[in-house]
Chains A and B, each alone.
Chain A
Amino acid sequence: MALPLGLGLALASGAPPMAGIIAALVGSIVLFFLGGSYVTISGPGNGLVVITLFAISSLGAGDAFLGYQLTLAAIVASGGILLLLGLFRFGALAEFFPASAIKGMLAAIGLIILSRQIHVLIGINDPSGASAPDLLTEIWASIKLAFADESTYPTAIIGLISLLLLFIIPSKGKSWLSKIPAPMWVISLGMTYSYLSTYFPQVFPAFADEHLLKLPANLSNSIVFPNFSAWATGGFISIAFSLAFIAAVESLLSIKAVDKLDPLHRRSNVNKDLRALGLATIISGLLGGLNVVAVIARSSVNVNNGATQRWSNLFHGVFLGLFFLLFSTQLQNIPLSVLAAILVYTGYKLTAPSQFTAMAQVGWEELSLFVITYVATLFTNLITGILLGMLATLILQMFSMGRSTVFFRQLLRPNTLLYEEDDNKYHLSVKSFANFLNFLRIKNHLDTISTDSEVIVDFSLTTYVDYSVLEHLHQYKNNFTNGGGHLEIIGLDDLGRSSAHPMANRHPRKFFEKSGYTLTRRQKALRLFALSHQFKFDYHEIDESLGFQDFDYFKFKPINLLRNRLLPKGKMDWLLADVHYQEGDFYGNQTLHATMLSIPLSKRAPLFVIDRESLLDKVAFLAGFKDIVFELHPDFSNRFKVKGDKALAIKRYLNRSIIEFLEEHKSYHIECNGEALLIFEKERNATISEIKQMVNFAVLFSDLLKKVHA
């Protein structure tokens, strides 16, 4: 796969075909020794085609060879920049841009590649248009041209068949066709046709010479060296920076995506990889090759074929080089239209309508940002495009957040806190808002947690969480699951959202949103849990306390509303809900959310509170009461604090079997108001697993109470 892509990408960039092979070879060797990733393949990348093509034509001012030499110098310079980015640990660069803007830019790159290569596909090698919109409007003219010129017929037909195959083969699933990657099939098709045409020219009319791949006769003599004479010009510098930027973003996105595929679930060191890619680009540029980037399509083929070590990248490069050296004459039988078909297909994949519908599902905001970046990139250039996309994102977020002064003031302030709640269980709390600009803080914290831990990312103190953050967190979720740990997001239930998509922007809730409400992941999981246990789940908020207010815990804490209620079907037995309540009065009050469970008792019981933690004093009537000591159960007394006004009655009530039960189970705050029990674990929303445990505990506990005090 690397061979047709290497040749094709080089041709599409306006460089000699060999440039792509050099990049892949150098990249594989340098990354084998210095890289920080494991199963990624490095080589020429499709994101850079657009800039390289522009650089060759603009720097050379008409002279393609000089343009190429000058561009090589820019490539060397961009390698230097990448090296510096790696040294200064800018590996999080790709996360600093809004996800929808990056996707918009990549989609635009796809269209730009497609718009040029579609002409080559039907045998028109050099269309006159410069920009993607021009080239697209020119397609009709090119078709007419191709029809007029009979020599393009074989090229065009083979090209179109190749394109068709490229679309069909991957969709064939596990058939024998898809055992070999589609590009291999179409290359063999092209070459077979070339050979057939030399023997049976009557049946298979031969390709015209300009429609076949041209390689220099003597490879070693044809190496082009960079020309640094233009280094001080503005054009050169901006091209070098653009190359470095796109190379870095493409590589970082690929590395992250490939990490998800890694069968051994290792974490790539992106900074190390950036350094290696920079060095490889410098060497490649000096030898006449293109930029070296980490690429996703070739890497996923690599993983699919069982790669686990960095050796796979080295072998890919070495085999590619050997193949190229040994079969260079045979390779000249490859028709350009086949390479163009591969590129059109790659371009189409990047810019396909499905990309747009996927963004539309996330919400209209993300779709409009995607389209803004897409259009801006097509009509200006990549860098301007992404910067405009970023600006549009910022403006939109400021408006949907409502308070722009807060936005800028909070942006520069820390807003994250990570601490170990229990052994190997971490709590990451985020305040004010989380978006692409401050995601780095969340990332830095998450990176320091090993993936076999449990992490709760708590957004309950935020008012805004954007798509980029949720998407990155989704990747982390995968990483933690792969590593044997668990990452759960809580605190999103109370924010409004622009669509049903799980990663849709979360913003302050507006009044009218109540009707068109969609469930969060947590709510969906709760609903599933309810279904499988014959419980009822109701996410609607009700502004009644349904008995919760009768507990002393809530004596000075007015309850605002209940959400996400979970209750048994049929008769009202127990009730679990996220309780939203107020603590404090005047202007200093605070709204707290906690998952609590109330369960009625069949017989009157003394008032008491059992707890391990010190939420005890929050229960007003207990102030002043001493712990009740259970002399017969010293372990229990040490671990739990039991309080109440009638010590003897409580001791009689909590008999041996109950105490043994409590000792065996996870400890909760248990409060009895005589008629019902209030059970909860922490003063925050519980995670799904915590809720399951809590329900289970409550049901068992109340059964036991019924049995003991029948």
Chain B
Amino acid sequence: MAIGIGLSPSLEANITEAARLCSILGDKLFLIHVEAPNSHSRKVLKQVLDKLATNSILAEVDYEISYESGDISESIIRVCKEKKVDLLLAGALPREGLLRYYMGSVARQLVRKSSFSILLLTNPKLFPKTYSNIVVTGINHPKTPDTIKKTIEFAEAIGSRKLTIVDEVVPDKNTKRAADDEELERCNRLRGMIEQKEAQRLNLTLAEMAGANLELDTKVIFGKPGYSIGHFSQTSRAELLVLNSPDTILGFMDRVFTHDLEYILSELPSDLLIIHSHAQ
């Protein structure tokens, strides 16, 4: 596990969060800091780390810090590849301004370019917290079963209580239109059928995994893919949202014509875990 750190108000909390996860999962923690030339950041960082190493959970974790220079996202990705990191943590702003939205923050660049799982922390805390309520995507996609499997493993490991699998379905002509009672009836009938089919598919995936201490719930939502799950995790007060990694590298045009992941990245409803999963 690795975490990219910079000087920000949430630095301590970010490191504490990473250390806490590492101690639960029993991993080694790589701290990666990319310095700007002629900056004092290294000194400040040392002070913070010294402080945390004495009075926080960081003391229980095996960690290593590396200082890099150059382009921030490129350097972090390079180090992660060298160290064979499989989960990268990064702090992120929950809401991006217009300029940052089109230019891209570091966290966002990481998501676009990386080939490993990423956890974006929007709400790091100094005191212990667990991700007790997790929302994971359940869309009909080859990567989904693997993502759900990994999420359940992760949830079990950190002691989560509830996992909601949100299956976003794009309504088609017949499941969207309800101009009169006749169309409404048809729309609801078709929606019911789709819900049943989707529940069957998810149950098939879940059958392989018996979540012992986890309350599983599935929800089929008819709405815009990518957007609905974010809005859902906001209204259901989830602390972590888990998504599939994007199939293609996201570029500038994806931000102009917002879709899927971009909705969530521009307005993070909670911490976001993007799992680099394998298609089945």
Chain A interfacial positions (CB closer than 8 Å to B) = 36, 89, 91, 266-272, 405, 409, 412-420, 427, 429, 431, 444, 447-448, 450, 458, 461, 556, 583-590, 592, 613-614, 616-618, 623, 683-684
Contact = CB atoms under 8 A, between A and B. Distances in A.
B178 interface: yes
Contacts of B232: 417, 419
Contacts of B123: 584-586, 588-590
Contact of A617 (B132, B177, B184): B132
A707 B12 CA distance: 51
A417 B179 contact: no
Interface in B162-188: 162, 175-185, 187-188
A616 B130 CA distance: 12
Interface of B: 9-10, 13, 93-94, 98, 122-125, 127-130, 132-133, 159-162, 175-185, 187-188, 191, 215, 219, 221-224, 227-228, 231-232, 234-235, 237, 258, 263
A461 B123 CA distance: 18
B223 A417 contact: yes
Contacts of A461: 234-235
Contacts of A418: 221-223
Most buried by A among B125, B133, B179: B179
Given A419-B221, A447-B178, A448-B176, A269 B183 contact: yes
Contact of B122 (A588, A623, A683): A588
A589 B269 CA distance: 10
Most B CB contacts (10 A, CB to CB) among A409, A586, A588, A592 go to: A588
Contacts, number: 116
Contacts of A444: 176
Nearest to A617: B132
Given A91-B179, A461-B235, A414 B125 contact: no
B179 A586 contact: no
Contact of B179 (A89, A412, A683): A89
A36 B9 contact: no
In order of increasing CB-CB distance, the 9 nearest A-B pairs are A617-B132, A269-B180, A588-B123, A614-B162, A417-B231, A614-B161, A584-B123, A588-B122, A414-B227
Nearest to A623: B130
Given A414-B227, A414-B228, A556-B127, 10 more contacts: A89-B177, A409-B98, A416-B231, A417-B232, A447-B179, A586-B13, A586-B123, A587-B9, A617-B132, A623-B128
Contact of B94 (A271, A413, A417, A588): A588
A458 B161 contact: no
Nearest to B228: A417
Nearest to B215: A614
B188 A450 contact: yes
Given A586-B123, A592-B237, A267 B181 contact: yes
Contacts of B223: 414, 416-418
A413 B227 contact: yes
B187 to A, nearest CB: 5
A616 B177 CA distance: 40
A584 B179 contact: no
Contacts of B128: 623
12 contacts: A36-B179, A36-B180, A266-B181, A267-B180, A269-B183, A409-B98, A418-B223, A448-B187, A458-B235, A586-B13, A586-B124, A613-B162
Nearest to B191: A448
B132 A614 contact: yes
A618 B236 CA distance: 13
Given A448-B178, A586-B9, A618 B132 contact: yes
Contacts of B13: 585-586
A617 B130 contact: yes
B73 to A, nearest CB: 21
B260 to A, nearest CB: 12
A623 B235 CA distance: 24
Nearest to B98: A405
B248 to A, nearest CB: 21
A586 B11 CA distance: 11
B278 to A, nearest CB: 29
Contacts of A448: 175-176, 178, 184, 187-188, 191, 222
A297 to B, nearest CB: 24
Contacts of B130: 617, 623
A684 to B, nearest CB: 8
B221 A413 contact: no
Contact of A417 (B122, B133, B184, B235): B235
A269 B160 CA distance: 48
Contacts of A409: 98
A272 B237 CA distance: 42
Contacts of B235: 417, 427, 429, 458, 461, 684
Contacts of B179: 36, 89, 91, 267, 269-272, 447
Nearest to A592: B237
Contacts of A267: 179-181, 184
Contacts of A584: 123, 125
Contacts of B122: 588
A586 B129 CA distance: 15
A587 B184 contact: no
A177 B185 CA distance: 44
Nearest to A429: B235
A434 B122 CA distance: 26
A220 to B, nearest CB: 38
A587 B10 contact: yes
A420 B169 CA distance: 14
A409 B129 CA distance: 34
A412 B187 CA distance: 26
Contact of B221 (A91, A269, A417, A588): A417
Contacts of A271: 179
Contacts of A272: 179-180
A584 B123 CA distance: 6
Contacts of B181: 266-267
A416 B182 CA distance: 25
A539 B231 CA distance: 29
Nearest to B129: A556
Nearest to A589: B123
A431 B95 CA distance: 14
A467 B17 CA distance: 45
Nearest to A36: B180
Given A414-B224, A458-B235, A592-B237, A614 B133 contact: yes
